[in-house]
């Protein structure tokens, strides 16, 4: 092992040799990119994906290495990173393994809010920004604890895709966030992101339909359609980032969830 490197275990249980003070970081996940910005890493982040839209100044100025699934390997090689940060669900396994043969690749694996807190703290340790990471996690814990728990949780069908229609079901971070926001997942009997059929003859309907703004960009015309299909359900277009991003954007989720409960 090289001098000034240390071995850490990432959230997938992988042993990774990382620099004690990484200076050339590439982020392959939008929510973790924004976290790196809010931890104050500035010029130490040299590459992001085309989906890393926050913060806007980084989206405009940082080198883009491709998407979250397909990377431009020649761009990454030219940047010569000393740390790449990814995520099990959002990144493609084969390409991650290819990158790991050349560079230190640290992976997160997040299903729960506690996983998100752990990821923030571990990235703080990786990047020598532990004070900022600790402060952020404390703010998040206090904020989420302040969200009221309703006497009756409304049942929500959370749609993430169209053609085919897909929902966020059990064993997803979105499911966890629905619970924190005071709702019950209508599809909690299913797992991950199942495809479902839409029928206007359903005998059982949810209290609410949430149409996420991402990854599929649901619009008003889609909401109008769902109102006809799920007669009796209230339909809302919701901010998908605030239900699925597990970095510092969670601070914005706290107020948003409180607002959703009162609408």
CATH number at residue 55: 3.40.50.1980
> Is 149 part of a structural domain of the chain?
no
Please check whether residue 90 is in contact with residue 119, taking contact to mean a CB–CB distance below 8 angstroms: no
Neighbours of 127 (CB within 10 A): 25
Q: 123 and 192, same structural domain?
A: no
Q: 54 and 158, same structural domain?
A: no
| Six-digit token string for 234 | 């209230």
Query: What pLDDT shows up at residue 199?
Result: 67
Q: 138 and 176, same structural domain?
A: no
> Is 184 part of a structural domain of the chain?
yes
- When divided into structural domains, the chain yields a total of 2
Q: 208 and 115, same structural domain?
A: no
Query: What pLDDT shows up at residue 197?
Result: 86
- Mean pLDDT computed over 99-121: 98
The C-alpha angle with vertex 32 and arms to 28 and 35, in degrees rounded to 5, equals: 145
d(CA 160, CA 193): 8
Q: 117 and 247, same structural domain?
A: no
Last residue of a domain, one of 143, 170, 196: 143
Mean pLDDT, rounded, of the chain: 94
Handedness of CA 182, 188, 194, 199 (dihedral sign): negative
Question: Mind listing the pLDDT tens digit for each residue in 208-234?
Answer: 999 999 999 999 999 999 998 888 899
What are the CB-based long-range contacts (under 8 Å, 24+) for 259-262? 260/181, 260/236, 261/147, 261/148, 261/150, 261/181, 261/182
With a CB cutoff of 8 Å and minimum separation 6, the contacts of 104 are 16, 17, 18, 19, 22, 82, 83, 84
Respond yes or no on whether the N-terminal peptide bond of residue 219 is cis (omega within 30° of 0): no
Which H/E stretch holds residue 263?
Answer: none
User: How far, in Å, are 1, 6, 38, 219 from residue 17 at the CA level?
Assistant: 8, 5, 24, 45
Last residue of a domain, one of 113, 143, 173: 143
d(CA 179, CA 185): 8
Q: 116 and 18, same structural domain?
A: yes
> Is 198 part of a structural domain of the chain?
yes
Structural domain including 125 reads: 5-143
Q: 134 and 9, same structural domain?
A: yes
- Mean pLDDT computed over 167-195: 96
Phi, then psi, of 170 in degrees rounded to 5:
-65, 160
Model's pTM, two decimal places? 0.93
Last residue of a domain, one of 143, 169, 196: 143
| Six-digit token string for 108 | 């997160």
d(CA 36, CA 55): 10
Which H/E stretch holds residue 24?
Answer: none
How would residue 205 be classed by pLDDT, with cut points 50, 70 and 90?
confident
Nearest to 115 by CA among 240, 239, 10: 10
How would residue 200 be classed by pLDDT, with cut points 50, 70 and 90?
very low
> Is 172 part of a structural domain of the chain?
yes
Q: 236 and 192, same structural domain?
A: yes
Q: 53 and 19, same structural domain?
A: yes
Question: Mind listing the pLDDT tens digit for each residue in 129-170?
Answer: 999 999 999 999 999 999 999 999 999 999 999 999 999 999
Q: 133 and 19, same structural domain?
A: yes
| Six-digit token string for 43 | 């010029």
Q: 136 and 168, same structural domain?
A: no
Q: 168 and 124, same structural domain?
A: no
């Amino acid at each position: 092992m090289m001098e000034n490197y240390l071995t850490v275990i990432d959230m997938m249980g992988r042993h990774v040799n990382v620099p004690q003070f990484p200076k050339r970081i590439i982020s392959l996940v939008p929510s973790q990119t924004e976290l790196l910005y809010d931890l104050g890493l500035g010029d130490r982040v040299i590459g992001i994906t085309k989906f890393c839209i926050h913060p806007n100044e980084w989206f405009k100025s940082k080198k883009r290495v491709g998407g979250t699934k397909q990377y431009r390997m020649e761009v990454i090689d030219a940047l010569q990173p000393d740390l790449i940060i990814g995520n099990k669900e959002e990144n493609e396994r084969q390409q991650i393994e290819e990158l790991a043969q050349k560079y230190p690749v640290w992976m997160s694996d997040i299903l729960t809010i506690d996983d998100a807190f752990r990821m923030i703290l571990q990235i703080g340790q990786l990047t020598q920004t532990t004070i900022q990471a600790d402060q952020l996690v404390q703010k998040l814990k206090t904020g989420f604890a302040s969200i009221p728990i309703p006497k009756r949780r409304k049942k929500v069908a959370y749609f993430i895709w169209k053609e085919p229609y897909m929902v966020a079901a059990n064993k997803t971070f979105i499911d966890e966030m629905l619970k924190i926001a005071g709702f019950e997942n209508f599809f909690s009997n299913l797992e991950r992101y199942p495809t479902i059929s839409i029928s206007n003859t359903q005998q059982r309907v949810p209290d609410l339909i949430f149409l996420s703004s991402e990854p599929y960009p649901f619009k008003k015309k889609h909401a109008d359609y769902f109102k006809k299909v799920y007669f009796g359900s209230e339909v809302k277009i919701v901010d998908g980032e605030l239900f699925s991003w597990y970095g510092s954007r969670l601070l914005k989720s706290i107020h948003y969830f409180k607002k959703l409960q009162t609408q």
